[in-house]
Amino acid sequence: MKHRIVVLGAGYAGAFSAGYLARQLHSDDFEITVVNAEPDFVERLRLHQLAAGQDLRHRPLEQVFAGTGIRLRPARVTDVDAGHRTVTVADGEGIDRLEYDTLLYALGSTAADHGVPGVREHAFHVAARPSALRLRARLDELGEDGRVLVVGGNLTAIEAATEIAESRAGLRVGLATSGELGGWLGPKARRHLLRAFDRFGITVHEHTTIARVEEAVAVAADGTAFASDATVWAAGFAVHPIAAASGLEVEPNGQITVDRQMRSVSHPDVYVAGDSAFVIGENGRPLPMSCASAGSTSMQATAAIIGDRTGRKISTTALSYVGNHISLGRKDGIFQLVDGDARSKSWALRGRTAARVKSAILETAAWSLSHPTFGRPSHKYRLATARERSLDVVAA
């Protein structure tokens, strides 16, 4: 029987990892199945553009995985039983249970509501394609007249506010953040950010914590009410509770606790990549939920899977974070470098050049999904026997 590898999620981490494994492992020994809720690869980092009314390139996963032998299963993951090595999925035809020998968990994250009343019922977010399309439909209803309030002060909030303001010039856009807008940026980058918000006419409410969301209003902790025809919730990310319910060891925030090789510390046949992984980076701090982290964790996870299953030496991928790239509409942006302690440096790339750099990064990320070996020859490593793997561990 072939060794069954099941990959949950086909976002940046899952899609790249699946393609890389398929091109490195011998199909006579390994069977790879990818489970994803949608049949297409979704460029999550462009979902604020989709919500604002722009159309994104269609990338069917069948084409992404063409020629790899990967079995694509469009379905929603409903349960993971790490003890019995099974995954339960649901699609239009019903419920099914998949068995695995190795699991790569890459289900990513979604918007965190932080328990704020009314967020789930009345707010919109851009952390998934269906929710971005729902916001787009609402903005279409508003036409050239209406109020939009973006809640949050992180990259997603900034990009959503500026994209909507640029694409929907008739709307009155505001942003509420519990801290200072861009307070974590270097001085030059923050000044550039504030000028962009002024240019777009976005009203900023700093030191404002939204405590309740209603159908047409967002209420702050001090009782201030902000009229809003569409409240966009962008106040951080949270992982799916499936991980905590699976029997895997997780952190208080629900992320799966992994070792340096991205193996679950409680179930070593489970590997994790992307936002679902809690791992300490080179600076001694947990890696943030980000596309950059998806890249480094997926490379480390695939190296570990290949090494553990074929007896080869496991290469080490640097788990570092170098900076933030922020789009401010289609023609402006910021690329803020950070130091080893993740603190912003004084220098930052700004303006049209920064926007072009971010666009190039996203295009490269999308291209790499279909070219996971980056043009280098792929290998066909065979499954090592249990004895060979044991000898390799002893030799190490």
- pLDDT by residue (tens digit) across 254-300? 999 999 999 999 999 999 999 999 999 888 889 988 888 899 999 99
Residue 29 has pLDDT above 50, yes or no: yes
Domain shared by 104 and 149, yes or no: no
CA 80 from chain centre, in angstroms, equals 20
CA 37 distance to own-chain centroid: 14
In terms of Cβ atoms closer than 10 Å to its own Cβ (0-12, 13-18, 19+), residue 352 is exposed
Indicate the helix (H) or strand (E) that contains 292.
helix 291-310
Q: What percent of the chain shows pLDDT beyond 70? A: 97
pTM: 0.93
Residue 208, classed as helix, strand or coil, is coil
Structure tokens at 191: 């000044």
Domain stop point among 192, 209, 233: 233
Q: Is residue 359 part of a domain?
A: no
Report if residue 355 sits inside a domain: no
Query: Is the predicted pLDDT of residue 395 greater than 70, yes or no?
Result: no
Is pLDDT above 50 for 394? no
> What pLDDT does residue 77 have?
98
Helix axes 12-24, 352-370, angle to 10 degrees: 40
pLDDT at 391: 45
- pLDDT tens per residue across span 183-233: 999 999 999 999 999 999 999 999 999 999 999 999 999 999 999 999 999
Looking at the fold, whether 135 and 274 belong to one and the same domain comes out as no
Q: Are residues 145 and 104 both part of a single domain?
A: no
**247 exposure class (CB count in 10 Å sphere: 0-12, 13-18, 19+):** middle
Domain end call among 192, 217, 233: 233
- Reference 192, options 58, 321, 324, 87; nearest CA is 324
Q: Which domain holds residue 257?
A: 3-108+240-321+377-395
Give the count of beta carbons closer than 10 Å to the beta carbon of residue 211.
15
Structural domain includes residue 194: yes
pLDDT at 393: 45
Mean pLDDT across the chain:
93
Paired tokens of 330? 């289609």
Report yes or no on 326 lying in a domain. Answer: no
Average pLDDT (6-35) is 97
pLDDT tens digit sequence for 50-78: 999 999 999 999 999 999 999 999 999 99
pLDDT at 378: 84
Helices of type H across 127-253: 129-142, 155-167, 187-200, 242-245
**Model pLDDT for residues 254-265, shown as the tens digit of each residue:** 999 999 999 999
Measure the CA–CA gap between 384 and 230, rounded to whole angstroms.
Answer: 55
Tens of pLDDT, residues 157-170: 999 999 999 999 99
Q: Which residue type, as a one-letter code, is found at position 271?
A: Y
Query: How confident is residue 386, by pLDDT bands cut at 50, 70 and 90?
Result: low
CA–CA gap between residue 365 and residue 46 (Å, rounded): 12
Q: Rounded distance, CA 170 to CA 352, Å?
A: 24
Q: pLDDT tens, 78-116?
A: 999 999 999 999 999 999 999 999 999 999 999 999 999
- Inside any domain, residue 372: no
Q: How confident is the model at residue 306 (pLDDT cuts 50, 70, 90)?
A: very high
Query: What CATH number does residue 390 fall under?
Result: 3.50.50.60
Residue 244 sits in the same domain as residue 184: no
With a pLDDT cut of 90, the percent of the chain lying above it is 83
- The whole-number pLDDT of residue 288 equals 87
Residues 225 and 246 in one domain: no
DSSP summary character for residue 271: E
Is it the case that residue 370 has pLDDT exceeding 90? no
